[in-house]
A and B are shown apart, each in its own frame.
Chain A
Amino acid sequence: MTTSERRHLRNGLLFALPYLIGVAAFVVYPLVMSVYYSFCRYNIISSPVWIGLDNYRELFFNDPVFLKAVYNTLYYTAFAVPLGLAFSIGLAMLLNLRTPGVAVFRTVFFLPSIVPMVASAMLWLWVLNPESGLVNGLLRQVAGIDGPGWLADEHWSKPSLVLMSLWGLGTAMVIFLAGLSDVPQALYEVARIDGAGPWRTFRHVTLPMLTPTILFNLVMGLIGAFQYFTQVYVMTGGRGGPVDSTMFYALYLYRNSFYYLRMGYACAMAWMLFVLIFVCTAAVFASSRRWVYYHGE
């Protein structure tokens, strides 16, 4: 090793030192302990007791609430993520038409996504209030129908959360807008010369060019949806009601940790969540080779 190589190594490690310490203390150590706890009965007050695979066995064969939580989470993901993508692409396309006042519209659609989650959850709880909320009030006034109980009704609670999630699609929309501005204008010229109408131009030019952005937003959306927590905690007082219809994965994990003090069980749940996220993102990336188009490759 030359002197300068040695100096670089020393400086490199020195500059990264805070992070290296942090990673050992806040990532590596907890990861190892989390694996260990997941094979233990552990309530934080007394020391962990090794019970082998019992936690994992109970998850899959003996805990209907866990299965319900998986179902609820997948249900929410299956609707919120694709709808969110479709609507944010739609909004971005509309904004991209450069109508008058486009900056104002962009701000309006973006703002809800930066409202602190506690406040937006509180707000939607009130907007969806069955008796005095805005939505049912308008349904009564405009259409003359009695709206559903929304979050108070076990069949409507998850659709309510999906609806609320669409209000906050601003971040994805801004990313799609940036993606749209990267589409080379020449492609549109060619499409026009070939006589393609708006739909075919969208289908064969815009959409393929947006696929890398769709991939990014899809993966971020999936990861976010699997870990959905704050809104549902605030809106159901941490109970996941009615009738466990909003008992989401992360909420049930939280309840196991801090209500029932089943820390080992919660660690097993956390690892299953990691597997779920990992498998889904891996599947998306694997499939992306067939549907994501990288311009210039």
Chain B
Amino acid sequence: MPYDAMNGESDEALLAAYAAGEQAAARALVQRLGPRAFGHAHRMLGDRAEAEDVAQEALLRLWRAAPGWREGEAKVSTWLYRVVSNLCIDRMRKRRGGAVDIDDVAEPADPAPGAEAALQGRAREGALQEALDALPMRQRQAVVLRHLEGLSNPEIAGIMDLGVRAVESLTARGRKALEGLLAGRRAELGYDDD
């Protein structure tokens, strides 16, 4: 099947085609899932190089799981978010247990908007990432999945192995903590008058 024809296929159908040896499916899955895995890892870790490593490891696990994947057992995206999240939490635990890394600072992504908006966008992004980094791991995970990845609470519950109520509680506490952390920077970030 040609690559373009695969754009309308579900992740699960693409994974089945990948396991059957269709090269176009491999390319389509990388284009679809690569940025998602990387983006989530970046938001969790705030570090580009680490996010690349984590996303690569998660994708590698997906490719190896593909031949034994049973249709209807799990959603590919949920599975991938879960693996990325767990790998990120492992790294964050190691980080906290080890020496402080001076490079552990959020690196801006590759936005290309113009002038002032770009500067403010980067300032906001940096500030939010710093505030996210200060949250407890599970709160950060829930807030990122809910408010940055845009997932539903039941999806997040599946990823985090929690009940929906627990997810709602985690995101609520995370938002409250973020508001406190960013309270003094509203004017600087240009969102107090939004």
Partners in one complex: no
A residues with a Cβ closer than 8 A to B are: none
